[in-house]
Amino acid sequence: MSRVAITGIGLISPLGSGGAQALANAAAGRSAIRRLETRWSDRLAAPLAACVRFEGEAHFPPPRLRMLDRVSQLALVAARQAIGEARLDLPAADRRRVGVFIGTAMGGALTTDDGYLSLYRDGCERMKPFAILTGLTNAPAAWIGIEHDLSGPNLTYSTACSSSAVSIGEAWLRLRRGELDVAIAGGSEAPLCYGAMKAWEALHTLASEDSSDPSASCKPFSANRSGLVLGEGAAILVLEDWGRARDRGALILGELLGYGLATDATHITRPTVAGQAAAMRAALRSGEIAPQSIDSINAHGTGTQANDSVETAAIKEVFGERAHRIPVSATKAMHGHLLGASGALELALALLALRQETLLPTMHLAVPAADCDLDYVPNCARHNTGARTVMSSSFAFGGTNAVLIASAGEA
């Protein structure tokens, strides 16, 4: 089995564009969660979101922009960053050995929402000419392949909130088996439209607004947590055969060590300790990794009542008494829940932090819930920790649990 290097990271996130800016804001504990200011936000019970400062006009000419939903725009720019950082220079003959693996939960949500409003509210008789093409769930992956002339496998994964973790894990499997030389893997999400937000509101999973500070409304593992806050963005990694990366003199940012996948198979919205623990154990087995080798955990940590309690119990089941000595970070408190893109963003942030021997904070954690009793790195980052490995968990509606394990830098 081949080793898999991470040689490029691209981020368009609520915490900033590019890895350096996003990491600086995350390490400083700055929350990107704000009150939404749109023509429809006053019709939401809690008009909160983590938005990206991004204008498509700055990156695409008008004819192209008309064919790109925001989810594809974000993915394309993040992919450009990642490929640029990796300094990939691919001869035409090599491009069939490069795969694209992208995860998204809601695909072209803005296109769909806009189309329905035009038809059912405004009475328009015709949809926009490119509505089907811009709204396709696989459009972000397809456009990345087209822009960079990558003719290997081009796959889209939609497993709700674990989508991008699955995409990275599935790419890792193919690289390990020698089926590919390079994979562009990650996720993109742009769900901040009226229809999608009202639908999430109906599930009673969205956080109530913090009356003193809206930016502190998402409180993972806290006794007073009330739910998640939706976010948007994209995170793309360049994964590469280790030998190939070394031979071409690439800067190796980290190594992907393990991937585990397991399904709750009990209820479409209710997580289980057994399912989450099974995914963690599968990730350890896949890379023949001892539990003692895990220095830190990036938690799914949504801030919902069910998830945070179940996730804490799953960590204890896998790591036993040592669970209380492993630092656990939940960064959704700052960048919100990017649904299908969350796994990729959180793995990227955790890896970048580990390269600086830093553990990112779980913000807005004043009083932990009684059944949430681990070390959640509350409110302040930790520096000079010596930590080198992270287990990053992504759990989803539908019950698809995906866990990735990575280490920082070269070993």
* Residues identified as active-site: 161, 300, 337
- H helices present in 117-230, as ranges: 131-135, 139-148, 163-176, 194-202
Q: What distance in Å separates the CA atoms of residue 270 and residue 37, rounded to the nearest whole number?
A: 32
Q: What distance in Å separates the CA atoms of residue 309 and residue 374, rounded to the nearest whole number?
A: 11
Burial of 237 (0-12, 13-18, 19+ CB in 10 A): buried
Spatial neighbors of 404 by CB under 8 A, at least 6 apart, are: 165, 168, 169, 172, 256, 258, 259, 283, 343, 347, 391, 392, 394
At residue 212, what is the residue type? S
At residue 103, what is the residue type? G
**Max intra-chain CA distance, the chain:** 63
Spatial neighbors of 120 by CB under 8 A, at least 6 apart, are: none
Q: CA 155, 334, 137: angle at the middle one, nearest 5?
A: 20
